[in-house]
Chain A
Amino acid sequence: MTQDRQNPAFYALLTVLILMAIGPILMMLITSLKLNVDIMSDTSGLIFMPTIRNYETALCDMLWYEPAHVDRCDPTFGRALVNSLIISIISTALTLIIGTMAAYALVRFRFMGRDTVSLTTLMMRMVPPAVLLVPVFGIWTFQFGIDGTRAGIILIYVAMNLPFVIWILQSFIVQVPIQLEEAARMDGAGPFQVFFLVVLPLIKPGLAAASIFTFRIAWNEFLLANALADRSTRTVPVTIVNSLTEFEIDWGVIMATGMLLAIPPILFTLVASRQIITGMTAGAVKG
């Protein structure tokens, strides 16, 4: 399509909308680069010396040098960052593997209609994490004995994300021409070879969308992680909320931790916004 000449008012509106969308995020970034003296001073605004001190305080036990201004290093955040990374990466990988296999079986061997799957997905999407709080806490603690472990948190994230992943991958697998698979089978490939060597490479865009959605939920989730984690397995969202309940909030450091938590989703968005929009619209437009 060619770019028509449009009324400049539309560009003004566009600029305002963009500013409104990223304004709060920019403000968090700016605050995280300020010293508390600057944050609390009356002269607000953009005139200040940017500093990475807040980031040094948050990440103090992961740095290769000892920042001069940190008296007592608090390793909580560094540990939480490691936990968050491990938990979200493993749960994303597991969800994708299990989900792709299930989606493939549902499409190719058709023993459950697509309607059943859509309905189940919808039902699962409906369940709020708050509803899972009580039973998951009870079962994980008293029956499975995996409370306070990373494995316990990973298990519930995989379960929460599976329906959506299966559902979205189905729509990609349907588009893989069955002739390709038949040709591979003629050449003597077994069902697993067909799946891993023929189908998987063809649905890469779907896998990208699904993995971003799964990672985002695992990375951002607070409520269940808060109920299941103990001191050593806390994730970043849990530590942020914990530090907010303290009497004196250290805004500089807390904004730095918030920024660190926001960076991975921001990067994904900038790199793969097209896939994300596809995944989002598929969730509603084809409902």
Chain B
Amino acid sequence: MKTALANRMTPYLFLAPAGIVLVAALLYPIGYMIYASFLDWNPSQRIGEADWIGLRNYTNLLGDAAFRESFWVTIKFAAIVVTLEMVLGVGLALLLDRNLRGMSILRTLFILPMMIAPIVVGLMWRYMYHPTVGIFNRTLENIGLPTVPWLSDGGWAFTSIIIADVWQWTPFIFILSLAALQSLPQSAIEASRIDGASAWQTILYVKLPLMMPVLIVTALLRLIDAFKVLEVILVLTNGGPGLSTEILSLRIARTASEFRELGVAAAMSNFLLILLLVLTVAMYLYGKAAELRAARLRAAAEEAA
């Protein structure tokens, strides 16, 4: 009797630690944040002492030009880096999907930018962008061109953080699309070759459509991560000059730590969270739809056979 009870309790025993940690340190904080976004709260107060101000944090934010600017910078940054990285990553994967000696070295070394700390990535690029000793300005000077204010001019600073992000994350797209390419059914590609398709036609009409499900998931994953980029930009520009590179995550962090307005920071976090939630749900639904369609196609194929 006792062992039976023990056996029945096992799954709960195995799950309990994870459940407790997730509830206490992840779900509770998120609920807490939603509550805090309705408060006028600074870090020296306990949350109970903060005043309830309803939706004022949200309405203030919507009317705040700096917040709107920051929101727009975030969207622009995410859209540009994801587009650039997808084009470069998928292009390189299509180009290099062949038996090359040294591919495994490339794949190994290509992960490095993603594995080392974002803080360190920021550090390396900040050194390379350095106005006098950085390699870019030094090279420009040596070949007699005018130097560029990489991090001290609004437009250039935005370009600079995009270059750094493209360097860091294009390998992610490359590796995923290469994996997708190599798992494509060889029969389809061979059939297209026998039918006389050129290399371009094979890519456009066979490879890309077959890769599409993976590519869409990859793009969405990257898009979600692009909204989370913070440390590289913090080290490179700390949001400046002006607000030209202040993406939302960074603004949240600064509102909380420099301006000490926790309620406002929480309301901003909620905006960001809602934005990401929409993206995530879209991605999940797309995955489900693709699965259903595949199942239907399989069923149809079986019926026909």
Contact = CB atoms under 8 A, between A and B. Distances in A.
Contacts of A73: none
Instruction: Determine which residue in B32, B111, B227, B256 has the highest number of CB atoms from chain A within 10 A of its CB, and name it.
Output: B111
Interface stretch (B100-108, B189-197, B200-208): B100-108
Interface range on chain B: under 10, 10 to 19, 20 to 34, or 35 or more?
A: 35 or more
Interface string A16-27: 011011101101
B123 to A, nearest CB: 5
Contacts of B221: 283-284, 287
Contact of A227 (B25, B257, B273): B257
B100 A130 contact: no
B160 to A, nearest CB: 13
Nearest to A4: B99
A125 B224 contact: yes
A130 B228 contact: yes
Contact of A273 (B29, B43, B111): B111
A258 B33 contact: no
A273 B108 contact: yes
Interface in A77-130: 97-99, 101-102, 104-106, 108-109, 111, 118-119, 122-130
A261 to B, nearest CB: 5
Interface string B93-134: 001101111111111111111011111110111111000010
B56 interface: no
16 contacts: A17-B106, A98-B21, A106-B15, A128-B272, A129-B249, A131-B272, A138-B47, A158-B21, A191-B7, A265-B116, A266-B112, A266-B116, A277-B107, A281-B175, A285-B217, A287-B283
Given A39-B133, A106-B15, A127-B30, 8 more contacts: A14-B106, A22-B112, A98-B21, A126-B273, A129-B249, A134-B33, A162-B26, A223-B231
Interface of A: 1-4, 6, 10-11, 13-14, 17-18, 20-22, 24-25, 27-28, 31, 39-40, 44, 97-99, 101-102, 104-106, 108-109, 111, 118-119, 122-139, 142, 155-156, 158-160, 162-163, 166, 190-192, 195, 216, 219-220, 222-223, 226-227, 237, 240-241, 244, 251, 254-255, 258, 261-262, 265-266, 268-270, 273, 276-277, 280-281, 283-285, 287
